[in-house]
Amino acid sequence: MSRQKESISIFDMFKIGIGPSSSHTLGPWRAAERFIFDLKSKTSLHNIQRIQVWLYGSLAKTGIGHGTDIAVLLGLMGADPVTFDTTLVNDTIEKIKRNKTLSILDEIKVPFYYERDLVFLKQESLPFHPNAMKIVATLKDTQTEEAIYYSIGGGFVVKDGEDNSTHKTVVLKYDVSNADELMQNCMRAGLNISALVLQNEQAWRTEEKTLQGILQIWNTMSECMYKGCHTVGLLPGGLHVTRRAATINKKLLSASEYANIEEWKQAIKKSPHDFSSILNWVSCFALAINEENASFGRVVTAPTNGAAGVVPAVLMYFHLFAGGDADEMIIRFLLTASEIGSMFKKGSTISAAMGGCQAEIGVSSAMAAGALTECLGGNPRQVMQAAEIAMEHHLGMTCDPIGGLVQIPCIERNTMGAIKAITASQLAMQSDPDAAKVSLDAVIKTMWETALDMNSKYKETADGGLAIHIPLGLSEC
């Protein structure tokens, strides 16, 4: 992978979309959507005779379990993952399969045979990234338009052959490529990390729009969590995994009555705050989001869908139990978390197909640990120490989803990542960062080198680890 200089916004790290995977669902969705709009800019959609999609490597091996096929079809339709009604996902896909027709942008219907036109090449990979896909449109004059896309993690998509250096560079007030540069900028400007990031965001939009967008992100996280805490049953996909968040929520709140999210939060605040109860709540928050994610619910990449529960679980902990009830504190938390996540993307990876689960749960835990530390009054050195501690204890974590589904061990790993983040923050707040032996930059570099050394079967392929040692008899694994 190239190490190009990147300007990454908070809304690049936190994207609203539909589960279960940012790299296998949201990325392919956006790639297919982009292909259609690019094609429309070149020719009339009525010239399309046929569309075919080839999925390579990790996208092929775990594509069914991660909903890649569903995402591609919805993207080709021109549906927006931010607003598309999640209750219509299954019916829409079944209609395409049944009618053997794909409706594109509500302008034209194109013949589409699911078994013929969507090809899973499990034994083939393209060199740039394991998550690759090719889309080909055959036109009436028999000419073709095609493009190759790479879903590189967190919903980020790169088009093959596109010269990113020719894109307009966003000039930030404070240029940050790594933790050392971030520290130097904070010291020179006399700013904490969140304030520095907020100033950088003005390169894209006004401060008012940034603040509104951040609160929209938090509202989406909260709504997802609330829904997950009140939905029972089995998760889809054939593993027959029972949802647990609703049961835990009901047990912890006992006979409390409430009718909406705010009343639910107030009920939680009034519930017991002993160590065991708070620990159960953090786990409940994380489970709720990732059970929704596994059910094609609306979630926020943080920095990915598979790790979507860690940051909001820790933020909700801060929000309800540690004095973070003001909007200003929520904004500071998410600004800080996004900057830490962006440094991992710049210096390593946030793609499990490239780096294993350390790239998802590890990064999300580091993001949450650093953000919590700033909001609890930690200085920038303590923030970075917290992020380093959190990642240090996720190094080498493999991605081995059973059946190619973002369920086992993924959902529980979010609870572990959240608890580790809180512990890392507490350790950093009680430590002298000048005495730390390991820097955040060192752990980011180590994570990348670990990713390069890791066997490919432990990188979201379902070819190793738990994925091959749990005999569940699934046909797609």
> Model confidence over 301-348: pLDDT tens digits?
999 999 999 999 999 999 999 999 999 999 999 999 999 999 999 999
Given a cut of 50, is residue 2 above it in pLDDT?
Answer: no
Cα–Cα distance for residue pair 369/314, rounded to 1 Å: 8
User: Is residue 187 domain-shared with residue 161, that is, in the same domain?
Assistant: no
What is the pLDDT at residue 163?
65
Helix axes 261-270, 310-321, angle to 10 degrees: 60
**CA proximity to 84, closest of 71, 97, 96:** 71
User: Is residue 139 domain-shared with residue 204, that is, in the same domain?
Assistant: no
Does residue 7 form part of some domain? no
- Boundary-marking domain end, from 166, 197, 228: 166
Determine the structural domain holding residue 54 and report its residue range: 19-166
Q: How many CB atoms lie within 10 A of CB 15?
A: 23
User: Is residue 159 domain-shared with residue 235, that is, in the same domain?
Assistant: no
User: Is residue 347 domain-shared with residue 443, that is, in the same domain?
Assistant: yes
Q: Tell me the pLDDT tens digit for each residue of 82-116.
A: 999 999 999 999 999 999 999 999 999 999 999 99
Instruction: Place 167 in a pLDDT band, splitting at 50, 70 and 90.
Output: very low
Does residue 474 form part of some domain? no
User: Is residue 317 domain-shared with residue 186, that is, in the same domain?
Assistant: yes
**Cis peptide bond N-terminal to 409, omega within 30:** yes
Cα–Cα distance for residue pair 309/293, rounded to 1 Å: 9
Does residue 475 form part of some domain? no
**CA proximity to 468, closest of 401, 407, 406, 405:** 401
DSSP-derived letter for residue 137 is E
Does residue 8 form part of some domain? no
What is the pLDDT at residue 471?
66
Reduce the secondary structure of 376-402 to three states and give it as a string: CCCCHHHHHHHHHHHHHCCCCCCECCH
Does residue 454 form part of some domain? yes
Query: Is the Cβ–Cβ distance between 142 and 114 less than 8 Å?
Result: no
Count of structural domains, the chain = 2
As given in the structure block, the two tokens for residue 65 are 């379990």
Given a cut of 80, is residue 475 above it in pLDDT?
Answer: no
What is the pLDDT at residue 477?
33
- Boundary-marking domain end, from 112, 139, 166: 166
- Boundary-marking domain end, from 132, 166, 200: 166
Q: Tell me the pLDDT tens digit for each residue of 179-221.
A: 999 999 999 999 999 999 999 999 999 999 999 999 999 999 9
Does residue 12 form part of some domain? no
Least confident range from 37-41, 76-80, 160-164, 229-233: namely 160-164
Does residue 77 form part of some domain? yes
User: Is residue 235 domain-shared with residue 381, that is, in the same domain?
Assistant: yes
Q: What is the mean pLDDT of residues 141-167?
A: 84
As given in the structure block, the two tokens for residue 205 are 């939009």
Q: Tell me the pLDDT tens digit for each residue of 345-372.
A: 999 999 999 999 999 999 999 999 999 9
Residues 6+ apart with CB under 8 A from 131: 23, 24, 27, 57, 58, 59, 150, 151, 152, 153, 351, 353
Q: pTM above the 0.85 mark?
A: yes
User: Is residue 240 domain-shared with residue 332, that is, in the same domain?
Assistant: yes
What is the pLDDT at residue 365?
98
3-class secondary-structure state, position 313: helix
> How many degrees, rounded to 5, is the angle at CA 279 between CA 274 and CA 281?
95
Instruction: Place 40 in a pLDDT band, splitting at 50, 70 and 90.
Output: very high
As given in the structure block, the two tokens for residue 411 are 């959902």
